[in-house]
Structure 1
Amino acid sequence: MDAIYSNATLDSELLVAANTGSFRFRDPISAEKFLFLMECLTYAIFTVGFVGITGNILILCTYWKVGFTDSINISYMAMAVSDLGCVASIVWSGLCWNPGFNSVVAIEARDVVLPTGGFATTAFGKITAMITAFISLERCLCVVFPLKVKTLITRQRTIYFIALMYVVHVLPTSLVYVVVRFEWHFSEQRNRTVLGVKYLRNPTEQTITDVLWVFHSLPLQFIPLIIVVVCTIFLIITLNRSARWRSGNSKGITEDRHRRNEPEISSGKPRASSKEDRIIKTVILIAIVFIVCSSPAAINNAVTRAEPEYRASGKYRKLNLFVAGSTACLNTINSSVNIFIYYKMSSKFKLALKKLVCLVD
């Protein structure tokens, strides 16, 4: 939560440093380079964000048409909602860092970015992480307990779990609006009245800040990541073992029929197993993208907690903010690519999406 109390002074420090050439902190990234890099990140976020917002809206509409016969479709749709919220909040945060936007709006965009975009990104990102962990764990249970999984994970329990994740992550994050106040004030630098943010520091607000610190602490970030990593490794091993068994079994049956001069007879079982394999492959792809895109953010937060000078009030603050912006771009990618995975792996989703966009009758 160091960023809560230091983010408001960042603009003035950067402007002073850029104009005078003197830096309060010995950051390896200069003020001018920092502003340039952040501007480049915003354009990357806008590009990926447009794809993400469009894609997640299409996912929601498509799964609404496909239906929820399979409980995993409920999870896919719930994840699309959190991904949409995550991408939208990241795009807004990127917009706040864009110099062109700052020059035309009557708000201190880089002051309001944290309460209006940063915390929403964190909340929706954690919901996506928990749903990804839930989906991965569900597939593992399907492998370990194939006959009991339908009673262990029902549609009703899936809905309850997802609703709980939204409540648990959204409510604590909304407490930030008790800590901050949006106020109009005159900006001498811009020579106009602008909307800014004031952070309250009385004991009650400090307690709320401490609660938010604990809630966004490392254990809650690493737990879903560890679950996804373990489940993904297990699913990959299971999928490879199943493929080798089917290959060997099919080869043995074919050779036996050739010896007996019997015609080959197709069976319906491979189709059923093929459907399960496609679901497992879909979950593995989602998990791998999540691991690749989320690990840098987790590592960056761990370094932030371990090294005081790397925090928002330390001498490497600009480096910290640039890395955080880069990880936000990765999170945007993570929340934007699922539509391509579903389209590639699910024939039912592919057909429904084509009908939705009028590519087929």
Structure 2
Amino acid sequence: MSNSAHLDVSDMISNISLEPGLPDDVIDQPNLRDLISSTKFLLLMECLTYAIFSVGFVGIIGNTLIIMTFSKVGFSDSINMSYLAMAVSDMGCVASIVWSGLCWNSNFFDSVIAIEAREVVLPTGGFSTTAFGKITAMITAFISLERCMCVVIPLKVKTLITRKRTVYFIVLNYVLHMFPAALVYIVIRFEWKFSEQRNRTVLGVKYMHNPNQRALTDFIWLFYSLPLQFIPLITVVICTIFLVIALNRSAQWRKAYSQTTTKEGQNRNEIGISKGTAAKRRTRSKEDRIGKTVMIIAIVFIVCSSPAAINNAVTRAEPEYRASGQYRKLNLFVAGSAACVNAVNSSVNIFIYYNMSSKFKLALKKLLCLVN
């Protein structure tokens, strides 16, 4: 395989992955200038891996607890199914990012494990991270849209978004995003090769380049390209703005309602009417709590997803910022940092659920045997 062919595929992969990973012949090419030296770049990437490991440790434990807790709470509310599906995708995303960070850590790379880690990281970590990240993004957009529909058409939303339709959406979402990631194994081959640097035979990757396989890589790139990345992000932004407005209106309504019932409390009959409307008030309070939970999840998603989206947009706009350009190491470091931030997005939901949902908090405490 020619070096130029290798660069083409590596360029395509690095632009759609959420974390970097390129073999040494791309990192250390002497004929390309870069702002970051190879030694400094590898040091920065190694430091970044320790941040990824720390976040990933929290994310794996947190998402495991989320999955177990929602399994105990049940799915009487269809949104719990979305929370559970998002926890599964977050778990896959965090695990993939941690694996990618492990491959970039020199202690692992130079260990006794016979793997060419910086080659293997692309098909084993890059595409799975991208796929799980897209799944999380679509589920976040889905629950944000569902909350908006609860405000706009509260009487119809339960018939439009049923548990069965939620399951269909979740399954389709997973299949739609995981299938292209699996197709990458058609264009790559794992093979044993001799490494002069390590003086031993290691497992590496070879990229295939016949016309059909090249067309397949183009399809995968188009599928994971910018439009699909920005659609859920834009959806979440719009829905979050709408939810903020709706929650502010609800807070004003509760304040006005409280003042009215206080004045009317002097009349017993009107007190009876007030008690009759207490159930509606509790229902609205529950919907507001769910809305606030979704809003916080959406805001965290927007903040954590924006760096990767912006980095990918710049990559497409500036050729020198790509994996074959003079700023390739800067691109890879920024992409790795965005991956770490993305891992944060996939790790913090347990703290959001714990603080926003009394039912989740109680179920989690029972799961951890903190209460009877």
Residue type at the aligned position of 1:100: N
**Equivalent residue of 1:198, what SS?**
strand
1:313 maps to which residue?
324
Offset of residue 11 of structure 1:
1.5
Which of 296, 299, 324 aligns to 2:335? It is: 324
**Equivalent residue of 1:268, what SS?**
helix
**Distance in structure 1 (CA, Å) of the matches to 2:48 and 2:115:** 21
Q: Deviations over 1:197-216 (max 9, x none)?
A: 00011111101111011101
Judging changes above 3 Å, is the alpha-carbon distance between structure 1 residues 214 and 9 closer, same or farther for their aligned structure 2 residues?
closer
Q: Deviations over 1:105-157 (max 9, x none)?
A: 21110011010000000000000000000000001111111111110000000
Which of 174, 195, 199 aligns to 2:207? It is: 199
Judging changes above 3 Å, is the alpha-carbon distance between structure 1 residues 148 and 254 closer, same or farther for their aligned structure 2 residues?
same
Map 1:191-230 onto structure 2 (within 5 A). 191-230=199-238
Q: How many residues align?
A: 355
Offset of residue 358 of structure 1:
0.8
1:88 maps to which residue?
95
2:252 maps to which residue?
244
Which of 286, 295, 315 aligns to 1:304? It is: 315
**Distance in structure 2 (CA, Å) of the matches to 1:9 and 1:350:** 43
TM-score by length of 1: 0.94
% identical equivalent positions: 72
Q: Deviations over 1:213-246 (max 9, x none)?
A: 1101100000000000000000000000110122
Offset of residue 164 of structure 1:
0.3
**Distance in structure 1 (CA, Å) of the matches to 2:13 and 2:270:** 78
1:112 maps to which residue?
120
Which of 141, 150, 158 aligns to 2:149? It is: 141
Offset of residue 249 of structure 1:
2.5
Judging changes above 3 Å, is the alpha-carbon distance between structure 1 residues 32 and 274 closer, same or farther for their aligned structure 2 residues?
same
**Distance in structure 1 (CA, Å) of the matches to 2:234 and 2:82:** 19
Matched, 1:286 2:297: yes
Offset of residue 256 of structure 1:
4.2
Contact 1:8 1:197 survives alignment (8 Å): no
Offset of residue 263 of structure 1:
7.1
Contact 1:5 1:199 survives alignment (8 Å): no
1:268 maps to which residue?
279
Unaligned runs of 5+ in 1: 18-22
Contact 1:2 1:311 survives alignment (8 Å): no
Contact 2:22 2:122 survives alignment (8 Å): no
Unaligned runs of 5+ in 2: 1-8, 15-19
Contact 1:71 1:158 survives alignment (8 Å): yes
1:182 maps to which residue?
190
Q: Deviations over 1:52-101 (max 9, x none)?
A: 01111111111111111000000000001100000000000000000000
Contact 1:132 1:228 survives alignment (8 Å): yes
Q: Deviations over 1:238-291 (max 9, x none)?
A: 000110122022213323445999879653332221111110000001000000
Q: Deviations over 1:24-44 (max 9, x none)?
A: 322111212111110111000
Contact 1:108 1:196 survives alignment (8 Å): yes
**Equivalent residue of 1:175, what SS?**
helix
Contact 1:46 1:94 survives alignment (8 Å): yes
**Distance in structure 1 (CA, Å) of the matches to 2:359 and 2:263:** 35
Contact 1:218 1:301 survives alignment (8 Å): yes
Map 1:119-134 onto structure 2 (within 5 A). 119-134=127-142
